[in-house]
Amino acid sequence: MNKTTTLLFLFLFTFLTTSLSKDLCNKDDKNTLLKIKKSLNNPYHLASWDPQTDCCSWYCLECGDATVNHRVTSLTIFSGQISGQIPPEVGDLAYLQTLVFRKLTNLTGQIPSTITKLKYLRYLRLSWNNLTGPVPDFLSQLKNLEFLELSFNELSGSIPSSLSLLPKLGYIDVSRNKLTGPIPESFGSFKGQVSGLYLSHNQISGFVPKSLGNLDINRMDFSRNKLQGDASSLFGANKTTGYIDLSRNMLQFDISKVEIPNTLGTLDLSHNGITGNIPVQWTEAPLQFFNVSYNKLCGLIPNGGKLQTFDSYSYFHNKCLCGAPLDSCK
């Protein structure tokens, strides 16, 4: 080997060894992650979290690129044998945009207030666990939050009205908990497009706020609660809603003049106290699922559109509905 080749090899060797041994992982993030692992009792699920290796190579997380100095931007702990509470240290992963604890039936306790330190957080999914306590008011401090999923837990108390202060929040799923109290009046003042509002299987009571009619929500499921009164503001021919499930509440209003969006694919109003006639305008919607059974409807089922593609079980148990698919009107 001549001198130049030797130098080149030396250079390459130095370059490779330093670049391979250099952790991308931020030291603070690594320390925090190791505390999180310890606080979850060193579960097998986090076996790849070995202090000797670069934390950006560990499972269940992602580091950002050089623009954020490879800080941890995503932590997703999903479906493992994990017992304990959400470690408060997650609040120290300062660059997190995504935080997921999902399908961990032995994950108990409350949502820790330390997550308010996560000022870049966009996606928060803490669903299918056994979390207790409230849907915390402090979530309204997460100004970048776009997506909030807390479904399938044991959360109680009422829905904090302050959530509507979040300028980017467009998806809320708090279904399948033990929530009580009303739908906050403030929910009519969400700034952005609301793609989903899922409140089903709780004990939510009171009237559906009229202000919700100001929004054009893509999908809403308020089923199996204790809502009462008039929900007609949720409808409107000019909206682009695709999915409305209000079944199994105590709603009482007249649908005779209610127009539905011509984008509506699912409408479930079953098991309420809804009165009036089904409007002819409803034949214009591309309905694929339709159920108005167990109400107090009356009169002729309009003929046309999709309305006769459903069988009598979509219409039965009403006051005096008639016409196909039910018996013809007298």
Ligand X SMILES: *[C@@H]1O[C@H](CO)[C@@H](O)[C@H](O)[C@H]1NC(C)=O
The span from the CA of 2 to the CA of 217, in Å, is: 73
In the complex, least distance from residue 186 CB atom to ligand X, rounded to whole angstroms = 23
Piece of 28-36, 88-96, 233-241, 275-283 that binds ligand X (CB under 6 A): 233-241
Q: Which of 17, 57, 105, 312 binds ligand X (CB under 6 A)?
A: 105
Total count of residues recorded for the chain: 330
Q: Is 37 helix (H, G, I), strand (E, B) or coil?
A: helix
The span from the CA of 219 to the CA of 197, in Å, is: 6
In the complex, least distance from residue 239 CB atom to ligand X, rounded to whole angstroms = 9
223 binds ligand X (CB under 6 A): no
Site residues for ligand X, 63-102, by CB under 6 A, read 81, 83
As beta bridge partners, residue 173 has: 149, 198
* Residue whose CB is less far from ligand X, 12 or 237: 237
229 binds ligand X (CB under 6 A): no
The amino acid at residue 291 is: N
Q: Which of 151, 202, 291, 295 binds ligand X (CB under 6 A)?
A: 291
17 binds ligand X (CB under 6 A): no
175 binds ligand X (CB under 6 A): no
Site residues for ligand X, 244-273, by CB under 6 A, read 270-271
238 binds ligand X (CB under 6 A): yes
Q: Which of 73, 200, 314, 318 binds ligand X (CB under 6 A)?
A: 314
| Residue environment code for 35-60, b if the CB has 16+ CB neighbours within 10 A, otherwise e | ebbeebeebebbeebeeeebbbebeb
Piece of 15-23, 63-71, 160-168, 291-299 that binds ligand X (CB under 6 A): 291-299
Q: Which residues contact 47 (CB under 8 A, 6 or more apart)?
A: none
* Residue whose CB is less far from ligand X, 97 or 272: 272
Q: Which of 6, 17, 130, 193 binds ligand X (CB under 6 A)?
A: 130
Instruction: Decide: 285 and 310 in contact? Cβ < 8 Å.
Output: no
Instruction: Decide: 205 and 183 in contact? Cβ < 8 Å.
Output: no
236 binds ligand X (CB under 6 A): yes
The span from the CA of 126 to the CA of 173, in Å, is: 10
Host H or E run for residue 250 = strand 250-251
Binding positions for ligand X, rule: CB under 6 A:
81, 83, 105-106, 108, 130, 236-238, 270-271, 291, 293-294, 313-314
